């Protein structure tokens, strides 16, 4: 199985791919959740379907710090950004933060490994200091949709003393599952005065393509790298 880039037709708000071409025939095609105003971010876009190949690649970045993958993902996201540049105008790039305990365990934030080279490619300031995660993730590895939303409610905040007034923020993460994490971060940033928040992720969970498939090697895209020990207790984010 290979990477499957996300293409039109998609929801013009959250970027969810439409199964039916009929949904894309409206003047402003949006999904049910976006029509109901479910998300606090203005738009979200993703590079590819979160299938077994992308699971394997993101796992290398997330647990083994294969930084070449961060650069490769950043290049793909720069292309995604360019397609919607007129609607995704941003002032600063911010990675979704890890809780301090998780950051100490892992030693790095995989979202920042993508956001940093992306900011250079886009010529934008990197603002990883703007946002913090106040609450740790629940200990269980697998969460239901409703549990994902509850687990990030109030979990993020802007760092004390920083200003985001009227900034347009490009929020970067590795995977969008339910949109709960991007939504919680966007709420915190907009509460602090951000003008708009746009989400940009490498993977997007799409019905019909799950992470349950056997992982496929991704080494040909970035070359080989020595393995690092997977930190104990590390799980998936919402």
- 5 in a structural domain: no
Are 1 and 7 a contacting pair, CB within 8 Å?
Answer: no
Are 97 and 106 a contacting pair, CB within 8 Å?
Answer: no
- 15 in a structural domain: no
Cis bond leading into 222, ω under 30°? no
Predicted confidence at residue 141, as pLDDT, reads: 62
| C-alpha 146: how far from chain center | 19
Are 65 and 228 a contacting pair, CB within 8 Å?
Answer: yes
Domain with 161 in it: 40-215
The 10 Å CB-count burial string (b at 16+, else e) for 70-92 is: bbbbbebbbebbeeeeeebebbb
- 73 in a structural domain: yes
Give the C-alpha separation, 46 to 16, whole Å.
9
pLDDT by residue for the chain (238 residues), tens only, comes to 699 999 988 999 999 998 766 555 666 689 989 999 999 999 999 999 999 999 999 999 999 999 999 999 999 999 999 999 888 889 999 999 999 999 999 999 999 999 999 999 999 999 999 999 999 987 666 677 788 888 899 999 999 989 999 999 999 999 999 999 999 999 999 999 999 999 999 999 997 544 434 333 444 445 444 444 433 332 333 4
Domains identified in the chain, total number: 1
- Between 52-64 and 110-122, two packed helices, what is the crossing angle to 10 degrees? 100
Predicted confidence at residue 24, as pLDDT, reads: 53
What is the value of pTM for the model shown?
Answer: 0.84
Length of the chain (residues):
238
Give the C-alpha separation, 210 to 144, whole Å.
14
Closest CA relative to residue 209, chosen from 3, 67, 14:
3
What CATH number did the domain enclosing 91 receive? 3.40.50.2020
- 170 in a structural domain: yes
- 74 in a structural domain: yes
CA distances for 133 relative to 27, 149, 194, angstroms? 38, 15, 17
- 29 in a structural domain: no
* CB count in 10 Å sphere of residue 139: 7
- Between 180-191 and 145-152, two packed helices, what is the crossing angle to 10 degrees? 30
Predicted confidence at residue 215, as pLDDT, reads: 39
- 1 in a structural domain: no
- 229 in a structural domain: no
């Amino acid at each position: 199985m290979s990477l499957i880039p996300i293409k039109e037709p998609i929801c013009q708000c959250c970027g969810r791919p439409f199964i039916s071409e009929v949904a894309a025939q409206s003047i402003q095609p949006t999904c049910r959740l976006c029509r109901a105003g479910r998300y606090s971010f203005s738009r979200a876009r993703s590079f590819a379907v979160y299938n077994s190949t992308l699971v394997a690649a993101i796992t290398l970045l997330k647990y083994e710090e294969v930084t070449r993958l961060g650069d490769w993902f950043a290049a793909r996201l720069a292309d995604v950004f360019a397609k919607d540049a007129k609607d995704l105008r941003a002032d600063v790039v911010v990675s979704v933060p890890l809780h301090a305990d998780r950051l100490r365990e892992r030693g790095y934030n995989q979202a920042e490994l993508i956001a940093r080279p992306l900011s250079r490619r886009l010529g934008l300031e990197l603002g990883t200091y703007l946002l913090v995660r106040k609450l740790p993730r629940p200990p269980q590895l697998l969460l239901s949709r409703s549990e994902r939303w509850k687990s990030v409610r109030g979990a993020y905040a802007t760092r004390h003393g920083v200003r985001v007034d009227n900034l347009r923020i490009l929020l970067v993460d590795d995977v969008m599952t339910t949109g709960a994490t991007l939504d919680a971060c966007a709420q915190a940033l907009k509460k602090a005065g951000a003008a708009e928040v746009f989400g940009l992720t490498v993977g997007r969970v799409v019905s019909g393509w799950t992470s349950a498939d056997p992982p496929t090697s991704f080494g040909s895209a970035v070359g080989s790298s020595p393995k690092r020990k997977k930190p104990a207790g590390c799980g998936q984010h919402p």
